Amino acid sequence: MKTLVIDGGTTNLRVYLLDASGQVLSCARAEGGVRHTAIDGHNGRLRELLRGCIRQALEESGTAADEIGRAVAYGMITSGMGLLEIPHLVAPVTAGMLRCGMQSAAFPDIAPFAIEFIPGVRNFGGEVHAGNCADMDMMRGEETESIGLHRLLSPRKEALFVLPGSHNKFVHMGADGEILGCMTSISGELLDAVTHHTILSGAVGGGFCSPETYDADMACAGAAECLRSGLGRAAFAGRILNTLGAQDAPKIQSWLLGAVLCEDVKALRTFVKGAAPAVYVAGKPPLQQAFIDVLRAMGIKGARSVDPALTARMGVTGALEIAGI
């Protein structure tokens, strides 16, 4: 029998069709996710997109619906804005615990087979208030990716997985592969907002640095200035460098990226307590390299990049591991 793995995020939807050995036969993608539920006030568009992606994945591989043995979904699709809301499990959480927390539901308008949903993870149980919210965090989707990445990397000690995106996610993993907790920042959204909606827009040319224009020295200098004087001042210093220092837009793009990432590294120091874990940075260039450069510049040595080929497989690998397929 074949398996469907559904990655249902905030802004993107992916459906992978796998054969009995776990090899990907086809993949269907759509731009859209639970953000449309928040905008529309209902999940009708999410249902339509998922129905279309499943149909496309089946048709491209010549697979009939009755050949699907399991359909497993993870991500924001398990939130209140998705298809089936499942409460977060409380860390520490193992793949087996996530498997026990999975719930199944049928959606005849989407597919003629049931879909099993993987729950998200939160850092601790009980009441959340102003006094403890700094230690709380939650995730839906990254728990599956982290379980998969741990399986692919097999680190021999505690590890910290850096998963960049609109919301940068930092997942603390135990030596045996259990999820110990996570931390989230809005650095991606913050960088976008500063780049396009502030006085810095002109200094950075209204864009982000590319793999070709990324400047490690400027990124580290931006991080150092943020550490010294704070993000607001470091960001404006980028305008000063552009206006009075004759530094071109690509240089300022790297400066600003480093300054924003500095705030994440500062937060990491309070997130991971005790022995320093091995740090693995996923993501695409130049963000992946910038993270490594800023981590090193701020005294966190030994950060390693994750091969993009592994990053592409971590979600599916984690879903299969959790589901016991």
| Mean local confidence (pLDDT), 178-197 | 95
Q: What is the pLDDT of residue 272?
A: 84
By the 8 A CB rule, do 163 and 283 touch? Answer: yes
| Mean local confidence (pLDDT), 135-140 | 96
**Rounded Cα–Cα distance for residues 196 and 273 (Å):** 36
Parallel/antiparallel/unpaired status of strands 138-139 and 121-122: antiparallel
Q: Which of 121, 126, 127, 125 has its CA nearest to residue 139?
A: 121
Residue 10 pLDDT grade (very low, low, confident, very high; cuts 50, 70, 90): confident
Residue 113: pLDDT over 70: yes
Residues 6+ apart with CB under 8 A from 169: 139, 142, 161, 162, 163, 182, 183, 184
What pLDDT, in 10s, does the model give residues 222-279?
999 999 999 999 999 999 999 999 999 999 999 999 999 999 999 998 898 766 789 9
Q: What is the pLDDT of residue 28?
A: 97
Q: What is the pLDDT of residue 275?
A: 65
Residue 219: pLDDT over 90: yes
**Rounded Cα–Cα distance for residues 325 and 323 (Å):** 6
**Please, what is the average pLDDT of the chain?**
95
Q: What is the pLDDT of residue 11?
A: 83
Q: Which of residues 37 and 106 earns the better pLDDT score? A: 106
**Rounded Cα–Cα distance for residues 44 and 226 (Å):** 44
What is the percent of the chain where pLDDT is above 90? Answer: 88
Q: What is the pLDDT of residue 44?
A: 87
What pLDDT, in 10s, does the model give residues 32-70?
778 778 788 888 899 999 999 999 999 999 999 999 999
Q: Cis omega (within 30 of 0) on the bond before 92?
A: yes
Q: Looking up tokens 């793999």, which residue turns up? A: 211
Domains in the chain: ranges and CATH: 1-132 (3.30.420.300), 141-325 (3.30.420.310)
Q: What is the pLDDT of residue 182?
A: 97
What is the percent of the chain where pLDDT is above 70? Answer: 99
What do you get for the CA distance between the two ends of the chain, in Å? 11
Q: What is the pLDDT of residue 302?
A: 86
- Residue 85's Cβ-count burial label (10 Å; 0-12, 13-18, 19+) is middle
Q: What is the pLDDT of residue 185?
A: 95
